[in-house]
């Protein structure tokens, strides 16, 4: 929480020292210098920066992040419209990355010393060299253009619509009892989720693998073998609970990478989420929107950090006592 | 055991060779590129590469403005390597110095630096670099600065732990008892121990810098429009993805090969330089 | 009434892929209910025997000849699965380091439960009751509560009891104990050894007891086999091998071990080191020949085989009759009568150190690390500080070296008062008082050459000696600690443990100190290497007239080289005086307990005969 306060302050200060004038931007280009000056006073821009921050913070805690200069509507409304799409995307991608990464890590470790394990390591290195936005473009090229199996634009086929309940399409389509729409939404999500999830998985594979290797050098694993436990119960009953800890830490600290990746992946798939909103805002220097979205990115990352800390705490008895 | 060591050496030679080739290409770009990267030939636009039915005049085809893709790729390497080298050096220097200070002295200064890293890491790196570009403006130097300001934490976080481990060794305590100054201990006793890790991280950071530069150029927040860059080529080719898929695939391939080479170099350097990882060989 | 042996190993060879042998021609047999001790120094290959039985040899190693029969069945002809099935059921294992041998993420109850489930206890309730009973059998108090504890909440001694209970839970025919007491505190060691002896009686198991500790083996084992360089050099009844050995190596080992009883005598030092597997491959004769005090030409060319000397006693030596002639060097007369000089190098008066600790809600708590210490070390005097972990020994070191402030009382080291902590004073103090670190592995920067390590302290002198001068000083120091001059350009990783400890000592001598503070400097070393270092320290006293404050948990070591001893317990000195007086006639309860633990054997035998 203190981190979040510091971050909001830093972002606010950084954006205020920019050589752009929010007052001028919120008026039509034909506005006179006097009109701009009046607007500046109205917007409180003549006050000291600290006071401006206090004013901003005061309204921000009430959920008021000001008005978007470009869309001419409250920033909070804009953000809330887009937020569910991005959360849905990131959650699915993270779930895919964890399932795929942990499965691959276990597989490569269990097959250690064989050709299968080496092949798995090579595949991991290859994926590692392909960041999410390149994977997204490659998928469009291969599965959208050369072999058109998946749609590559938006969240639903044009012309379809779903009653807006939660904003999470997968939930809304199911709630509306429309399996056809659900599948359509799912097929639209397939490639972006795959791109984001796959790009995140090599880190999980490598950390899990090397953590398993390290764990197997511990003397309690040796002792478990000397008690005659089977390989399977050593791996799942003894080693995994210890070896998974670095993976939890990794997911917590590196989640920002995946979440930031939604920005480009949304752009590439024309996916109507926060990322596209942010990119547009940055191109038009829409300060209130930039500020609000940046803080959402930051808050989400921090929440995930704390979740990972809690996970480590639960899994490691040494921290509990 | 013996075979494994040779395997690591082969990887080192291969990745080192690839990295040198890319660096050489970047260095010699003006001399080896067949065309000026920005020369437009509006009569022959979107030509396929020679192996897909194009002409020998443009070996890898042309883009939507008729610019030679091969030449743009070669000059793109120059841009990518310039950014990557300066940015990685900067991030390495900033991160390593802070890591040594934090890990060696501990206490309040460690607390302060660690909190700073925490604040930095609360931003998705892509978002932070774009925000910095919004603030700094467009330009090669700005891209370098943005990468340094984002990625120093990568060095700082990893090295701080390494320095802490070295700090607890008795030979550091001995140097202190023998009357060595803190600066001298860091330089003579601590730094040599963490140097392999710095070299490894640097190699990995080269790959990361290439990616970040490509991302920024891709959303036109990177280098100026008249400087050829891989990310920019991808953004340009995206519009013509159906008619000229090669224009998109080739710069993607370049980024992939570059990042793969630097990652592989980092991995094999780590294996060769770090005594612990060679002791930790899979049995 | 010859009954079948539980374990019978014959002609066992373990080799590297290159053909160099780690073990060669090992024969061992353990009868039902017997304890066989395998004694050897590190590198002798003793742990490999356990690994062969368990089929857990490192990948690079393989059994290249010989056979292991367990309970009449050849292990070599069994499938991997069958062999794995024997483990934990018919063969139990007690590990070396109890602190790391249990899974930190699972409770004692969970780990014990999964073991019992495997050996056939089907119901959770049944398992729980059985676990509690087994834990009570090994004298663990409040065993019901222990079930929900994690390993880190228990002490090393308690964990070893849990592991012993686990090893015996299935009533195995054989238990392999690999240095089960080495990692424990002295007073705990004897009790754990005693427990193993008692478990053997109640469960009727046979034990393969692997150890480096001659006295422990003598006390605990029925038979003993001595392993040197991968080969068994002597085997037979425990008393005979310890009492009247028929192999020079066994004799040298016992003469190199400091004792707590009997007249004080210098230790015998074996020159050189044990040959590695590669070096052995090119040796035509006996592996001990280059180090053996009674070897002659034939020993270098002709390998002696294990042959009976008397009934049930076998030795691999050409001249077993010469063994009794090997004697420790005689004490030099002037050394025995030597008196410490008049100057006091270190004096503590009412010395106390209190730490302020804060708990998680910020409450202050005073921790008294040291209370009212009074002692002195005079010029040329060797003083041993004895105590277990937590007795305040390391705090004392920090105070002496000026690393921490004295809370109350006085501390004068080499003429510098502990209260004066200006930079110049500290520098002068630390030239006079040098610390020899416990672990040379950690104390020697692996990236510096030996030459630069021993003269490291000269680098900060205002008038820095030239490169040539430093090199000459380095050679001089290396000669003082009996290292060959060619190590000067090598790096620590290229030296053996004993050699590294010598470098560590040489480095401390660089500034011509008056007082050496040595923190457990021989605790990690093998007996023969320990003897070398101890004799070196004694020689240095004659030559350099230094004083020594030796911090050690090993009473026999302290008795061997120190004039006086200071016994510490929970931050206080409970007893001090000349070593012979304190250890021969201990007055404080704690000293008595320490002495009893160190003499372990006698008390162990007593309990065993009582229980019979």
More confident residue, A170 or A132: A132
- C255/C246 Cα distance (integer angstroms): 14
Contact B131 A290 (CB under 8 A): yes
- Residue C446 sits at φ, ψ, to 5 deg, of -65, -15
Interface test with A, best of B125, B134, B248 (most A CBs within 10 A): B134
- The answer to whether B62 and B45 are in contact (CB under 8 A) is yes
End-to-end CA distance of chain C: 21
Integer Cα distance of C144 and A137 in angstroms: 61
Rounded to whole angstroms, how far apart are CA atoms B117 and B120?
A: 5
Residues of A near C (Cβ–Cβ under 8 Å) read: 218-220, 222-230, 233, 237-238, 241-242, 315-318, 321
Chain C residues inside the 8 Å CB shell of A224: 103
Is there a contact between B193 and C447 if contact means CB atoms under 8 Å apart?
yes
Q: Give the pLDDT mean for A215-219.
A: 92
Query: Structural domain of residue A100, as residue ranges?
Result: 82-320
Query: What pLDDT sits at residue C609?
Result: 39
Distance from CA of B177 to the nearest CA of A (A): 34
ipTM at complex level: 0.88
Closest residue in chain A to residue C54, using alpha carbons only: A226
Fold exhibited by the domain C333-449+458-463+495-610: Rossmann fold (3.40.50)
Residue B283 located in a structural domain: no
Q: Is residue B135 included in any domain, yes or no? A: yes
- pLDDT tens, C29-72? 999 889 999 999 888 888 899 999 999 898 889 999 999 999 98
What pLDDT does C419 receive?
Answer: 65
Candidates C367, C531, C510; CA nearest to C451 is C510
pTM over 0.95: no
Sheet strands (E) in C443-571: 515-519, 547-552, 564-569
Q: Which residues of A touch C152 (CB under 8 A)?
A: 317-318, 321
How far does the CA of residue A173 sit from the closest CA of chain B (Å)?
Answer: 30
Point out the residue among A145, A253, A259 whose CB comes nearest to the CB of B121: A253
Q: Does C599 touch chain B (CB under 8 A)?
A: no
- Two structure tokens written together for B107: 């206490």
Q: What is the CATH number of the domain that holds B144?
A: 1.10.3720.10
Mutation target vs A (from C56, C59, C99, C103; most A CBs, 10 A cutoff) = C103
C133 interface with A at CB cutoff 8 Å: no
C58 has a chain B CB within 8 A of its CB: yes
| Candidates B118, B123, B258, partner chain A, best to mutate (most A CBs within 10 A) | B123
Is the same domain home to A107 and A242? yes
A242 min Cα distance to partner chain C (Å): 6
More confident residue, C545 or C396: C396
Q: Which chains touch B (3 or more CB pairs under 8 A)?
A: A, C
Task: Give yes or no: residues A54 and A90 share one domain.
Answer: no
* B-chain residue closest to C432, CA distance: B178
Antiparallel, parallel or unpaired: β C416-417 and C21-30: unpaired
Q: How would residue B6 be classed by pLDDT, with cut points 50, 70 and 90?
A: low
| 8 A C-beta contact, residue A211 and residue B278 | no
What separation in angstroms does the CA of A242 have from each of A117, A316, C177? 22, 8, 26
Q: Which fold has domain C7-90+170-325?
A: Rossmann fold (3.40.50)
Residue B49 lies in a domain: yes
* Closest partner CB to B189 (pick from C445, C493, C507): C445
The Cα C489–Cα C480 span in angstroms is: 17
Residues A36 and A88 both lie in one domain: no
Give chains near C: 3+ CB pairs under 8 A.
A, B
Q: Mind listing the pLDDT tens digit for each residue in C567-598?
A: 998 888 999 999 989 998 999 998 988 888 87
Per-residue model confidence as pLDDT tens digits over B151-189: 999 999 999 999 999 998 999 989 988 888 899 999 999
Same-domain status, A20 and A141: no
Q: How far A239 CA sits from the closest chain B CA (Å)? A: 16
Candidates C445, C455, C503, partner chain B, best to mutate (most B CBs within 10 A): C445
Contacts of C444 (CB under 8 A, 6+ apart): B171, C453, C492, C500, C503, C504, C507
Question: What does the block give as tokens for C401?
Answer: 């070296």
Task: State the DSSP code for A64.
Answer: -
Q: Is the pLDDT at B144 greater than 90, yes or no?
A: yes
Query: Are A228 and C84 an interchain contact pair (Cβ–Cβ within 8 Å)?
Result: yes
pLDDT at C335: 54
User: Would residue C142 be called left, alpha or beta, if left means φ above 0 and alpha means ψ between -120 and 50 degrees?
Assistant: left
Q: How far is CA C67 from CA A94, C12, C29, C49, C173, in A?
A: 54, 6, 12, 12, 19
Q: Is residue A174 part of a domain?
A: yes
User: Do residues B268 and B15 lie in contact, with contact meaning Cβ atoms separated by under 8 Å?
Assistant: yes
- Residue B136, domain extent: 2-278
- Condensed to tens digits (0 to 9), the pLDDT of residues B40-59 reads 888 888 888 888 887 888 88
Domain spans of chain C? 7-90+170-325, 105-169, 333-449+458-463+495-610
Look-up: residue for tokens 């997911």?
A251
- B194/A80 Cα distance (integer angstroms): 46
B279 in C contact zone (CB under 8 Å): no
Whether residue A182 sits in one domain with residue A128: yes
Q: Does position B3 have pLDDT exceeding 50, yes or no?
A: no
Please indicate, yes or no, if residue A170 is contained in any of the structural domains: yes
Q: Is residue A67 part of a domain?
A: no
Contact present, C222 and C312 (Cβ < 8 Å): no
B175–C contact, CB cutoff 8 A: yes
| Total residues found in chain A within this entry | 321
Complete DSSP assignment for A277-303? HHHHHHHHT-HHHHHHHHHHHHHHHHH
Looking at residue C355, its pLDDT comes to 84
Judged by CB atoms closer than 8 Å, whether chains meet at C166 and A227 is answered as: yes
Pairing mode, if any, of strands C515-519 and C433-436?
A: parallel
Residue with the bigger pLDDT between C218 and C234: it is C234
Task: Check pLDDT > 80 for residue C130.
Answer: yes
Taking 90 as the threshold, does the pLDDT of residue A66 lie above it?
no
What's the CATH code of the domain at A119?
1.10.3720.10
Verify whether the Cβ–Cβ distance C457 to B179 is below 8 Å.
yes
Contact C560, C258 (CB under 8 A): yes
pLDDT tens string C392-415:
888 888 888 888 888 888 888 877
Q: Percent of chain C, pLDDT > 90?
A: 38
CB contact under 8 A, A137 and B234: yes
Q: What domain count does chain B have?
A: 1
Of A220, A233, A237, the CB nearest to C100: A220
> CB within 8 A of C601, min separation 6: which ones?
C215, C216, C218, C219
Quick check: C105 and A225 CB within 8 A? no
Query: What's the pLDDT score for residue C608?
Result: 40
C212 with C179: CB under 8 angstroms? yes
Check CB contact of C424 with chain B, cutoff 8 Å.
Answer: no
Domains C7-90+170-325 and C333-449+458-463+495-610 share a fold: yes
- Spatial contact of C191 and C179, defined as CB atoms under 8 Å apart: no
Instruction: Give partners of A (≥3 CB pairs < 8 A).
Output: B, C
Collapsed DSSP state (helix, strand, coil) of residue B24 = helix
Tell me the pLDDT tens digit for each residue of A219-273.
999 999 999 999 999 999 999 999 999 999 999 888 988 999 999 999 999 999 9
Q: How far is B55 from chain A (nearest CA, A)?
A: 23
Do the chains contact at B131 and A294, CB–CB below 8 Å?
Answer: yes
Please name which of A192, A181, A199, A182 lies closest in space to residue A154, comparing C-alpha atoms.
A192
Tell me how many domains chain A contains. Answer: 2
Mean pLDDT of B206-234: 93
Q: Between chains, do A294 and B249 touch, taking CB under 8 Å as contact? A: no
By C-alpha distance, the chain B residue nearest C440 is B170
Q: Helix or strand or coil: residue A304?
A: helix
CB contact (8 A) between residue A141 and residue B245: yes
φ/ψ bin of C380: left (φ > 0), alpha (ψ from -120 to 50), beta (otherwise): left
The reply to whether residue C445 touches residue B169, judged by beta carbons under 8 angstroms, is yes
Stretch C298-321: mean pLDDT: 88
- Rounded distance between C-alpha atoms, residue A224 and residue A207, angstroms: 23
3-state secondary structure of C566: strand
pLDDT tops 70 at residue C288: yes
Which of the four pLDDT bands, split at 50, 70 and 90, describes residue A1?
A: low
Q: At B140, is the secondary structure helix, strand, or coil?
A: helix
Instruction: Tell me, yes or no, whether A140 and A252 share the same domain.
Output: yes
Q: Are residues A40 and A142 in the same domain?
A: no
């Amino acid at each position: 929480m203190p981190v979040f306060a510091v971050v909001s302050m830093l972002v606010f200060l950084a954006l205020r020292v920019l050589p752009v004038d929010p007052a001028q931007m919120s008026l039509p280009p034909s506005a006179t210098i006097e009109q701009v000056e009046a607007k500046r006073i109205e917007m409180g821009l003549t006050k000291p920066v600290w006071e401006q921050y206090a004013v901003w913070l005061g309204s921000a805690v009430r959920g008021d992040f000001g008005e978007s200069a470009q869309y001419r509507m409250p920033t909070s409304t804009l953000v809330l419209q887009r937020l569910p799409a991005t959360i849905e995307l990131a959650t699915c991608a993270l779930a895919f990355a964890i399932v795929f990464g942990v499965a691959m890590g276990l597989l490569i470790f269990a097959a250690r010393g064989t050709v299968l394990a080496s092949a798995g390591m090579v595949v991991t290195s290859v994926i590692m060299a392909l960041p999410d936005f390149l994977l997204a473009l490659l998928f469009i090229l291969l599965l959208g253009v050369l072999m058109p199996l998946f749609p590559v634009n938006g969240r639903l086929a044009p012309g379809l619509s779903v009653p807006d309940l939660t904003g999470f399409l997968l939930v809304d389509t199911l709630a509306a009892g429309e399996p056809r729409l659900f599948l359509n939404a799912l097929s639209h999500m397939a490639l972006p989720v795959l791109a984001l999830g796959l790009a995140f998985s090599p880190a999980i594979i490598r950390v899990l693998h090397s953590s398993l290797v390290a764990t197997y050098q511990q003397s309690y694993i040796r002792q478990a073998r000397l008690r005659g436990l089977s390989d399977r119960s050593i791996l799942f009953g003894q080693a995994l609970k210890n070896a998974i800890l670095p993976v939890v830490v990794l997911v917590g600290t590196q989640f920002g990478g995946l979440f930031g990746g939604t920005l480009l992946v949304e752009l590439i798939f024309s996916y109507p989420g926060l990322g596209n909103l942010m990119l547009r805002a940055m191109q038009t220097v829409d300060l209130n929107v930039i500020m609000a979205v940046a803080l959402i990115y930051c808050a989400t990352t921090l929440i995930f950090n704390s979740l990972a800390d809690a996970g480590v705490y639960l899994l490691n008895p040494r921290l509990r006592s | 055991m013996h075979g494994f060591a040779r395997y690591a050496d082969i990887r080192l030679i291969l990745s080192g060779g690839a990295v040198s080739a890319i660096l050489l290409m970047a260095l010699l770009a003006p001399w080896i590129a067949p065309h000026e990267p920005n020369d437009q030939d509006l009569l022959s636009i979107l030509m396929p590469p020679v192996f897909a039915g194009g002409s020998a005049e443009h070996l890898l085809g042309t883009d939507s403005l008729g610019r030679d893709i091969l030449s743009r790729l070669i000059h793109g390497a120059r841009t990518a390597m310039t950014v990557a080298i300066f940015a990685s050096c900067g991030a390495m220097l900033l991160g390593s110095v802070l890591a040594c200070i934090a890990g060696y002295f501990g206490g309040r200064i460690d607390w302060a630096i660690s909190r700073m890293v925490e604040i930095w890491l609360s931003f998705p790196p892509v978002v932070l670099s774009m925000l910095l570009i919004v603030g700094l403006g467009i330009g090669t130097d700005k891209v370098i600065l943005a990468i340094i300001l984002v990625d120093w934490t990568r060095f700082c976080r990893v090295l701080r732990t390494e320095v802490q481990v070295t700090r607890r060794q008795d030979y550091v305590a001995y140097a202190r008892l023998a009357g060595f100054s803190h600066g001298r201990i860091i330089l003579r006793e601590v730094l040599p121990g963490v140097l392999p890790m710095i070299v490894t991280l640097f190699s990995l950071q080269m790959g990361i810098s290439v990616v970040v530069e490509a991302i920024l150029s891709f959303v036109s927040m990177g280098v100026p429009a008249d400087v050829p860059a891989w990310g920019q080529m991808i953004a340009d080719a995206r519009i013509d993805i159906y008619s000229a898929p090669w224009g998109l695939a080739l710069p993607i391939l370049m980024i992939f090969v570059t990042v793969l080479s630097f990652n592989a170099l980092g991995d094999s350097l780590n294996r060769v330089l770090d005594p612990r990882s060679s002791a930790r060989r899979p049995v | 009434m010859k009954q079948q042996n539980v374990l019978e190993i014959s002609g066992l060879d373990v080799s590297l892929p290159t053909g160099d042998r780690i073990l060669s021609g090992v024969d061992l047999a353990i009868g039902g209910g017997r304890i066989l001790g395998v004694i050897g120094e590190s590198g002798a290959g003793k742990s490999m025997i356990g690994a062969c039985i368990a089929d857990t040899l490192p990948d690079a190693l393989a059994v290249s000849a010989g056979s292991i029969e367990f309970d009449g069945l050849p292990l070599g002809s069994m499938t991997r699965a069958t062999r794995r099935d024997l483990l934990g059921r018919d063969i139990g294992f007690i590990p070396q380091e109890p602190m790391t041998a249990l899974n930190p993420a699972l409770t004692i109850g969970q780990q014990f439960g999964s073991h019992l489930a495997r050996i056939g206890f089907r119901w959770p309730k049944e398992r729980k009751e059985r676990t509690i009973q087994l834990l009570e059998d090994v004298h663990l108090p409040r065993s019901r509560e222990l079930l929900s504890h994690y390993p880190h909440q228990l002490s090393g001694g308690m964990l070893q009891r849990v592991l012993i209970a686990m090893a015996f839970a299935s009533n195995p025919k054989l238990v392999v104990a690999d240095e089960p007491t080495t990692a424990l505190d002295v007073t705990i060691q004897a009790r754990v050894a005693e427990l193993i002896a008692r478990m053997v009686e109640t469960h009727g198991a046979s034990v393969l007891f692997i150890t480096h500790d001659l006295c422990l083996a003598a006390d605990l084992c029925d038979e003993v086999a001595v392993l040197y360089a991968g080969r068994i050099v002597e085997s037979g009844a425990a008393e005979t091998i310890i009492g009247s050995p028929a192999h020079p190596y066994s004799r040298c080992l016992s003469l190199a071990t400091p004792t707590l009883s009997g007249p004080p005598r210098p230790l015998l030092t074996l020159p050189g080191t044990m040959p590695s597997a590669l070096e052995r491959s090119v040796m035509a004769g006996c592996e001990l020949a280059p180090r053996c005090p009674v070897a002659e030409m034939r020993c270098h060319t002709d390998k002696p085989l294990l042959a009976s000397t008397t009934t049930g006693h076998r030795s691999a030596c050409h001249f077993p009759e010469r063994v009794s002639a090997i004697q420790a060097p005689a004490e030099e007369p002037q050394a025995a009568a030597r008196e410490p000089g008049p100057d006091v190098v270190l004096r503590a008066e009412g010395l106390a150190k209190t730490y302020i600790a804060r708990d998680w809600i910020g409450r202050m708590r005073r921790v008294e690390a040291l209370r009212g210490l009074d002692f002195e070390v005079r010029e040329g005097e060797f003083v041993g500080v004895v105590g277990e972990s937590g007795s305040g020994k390391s705090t004392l070191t920090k105070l002496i070296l000026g690393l921490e402030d004295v809370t109350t009382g006085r501390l004068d080291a080499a003429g510098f008062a502990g209260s004066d902590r200006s930079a110049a004073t500290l520098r002068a103090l630390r030239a006079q008082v040098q610390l020899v670190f416990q672990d040379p592995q950690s104390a020697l920067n692996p990236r510096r050459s030996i030459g630069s390590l021993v003269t490291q302290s000269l680098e900060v002198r205002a008038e820095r000696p030239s490169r040539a001068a430093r090199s000459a000083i380095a050679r001089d120091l290396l000669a003082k600690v009996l290292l060959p001059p060619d190590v000067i350009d090598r790096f620590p990783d290229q030296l053996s443990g004993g050699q590294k400890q010598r470098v560590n000592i040489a480095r401390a001598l660089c500034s011509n100190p008056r007082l050496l503070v040595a923190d457990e400097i021989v605790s990690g070393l093998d007996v023969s290497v320990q003897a070398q270092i101890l004799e070196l320290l004694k020689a240095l006293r004659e030559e350099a007239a230094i004083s020594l404050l030796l911090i050690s948990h090993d009473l026999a070591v302290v008795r061997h080289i120190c004039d006086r001893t200071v016994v510490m317990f929970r931050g206080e000195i409970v007893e001090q005086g000349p070593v012979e007086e304190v250890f021969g006639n201990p007055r404080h309860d704690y000293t008595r307990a320490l002495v009893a633990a160190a003499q372990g054997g006698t008390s162990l035998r007593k309990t065993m005969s009582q229980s019979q």
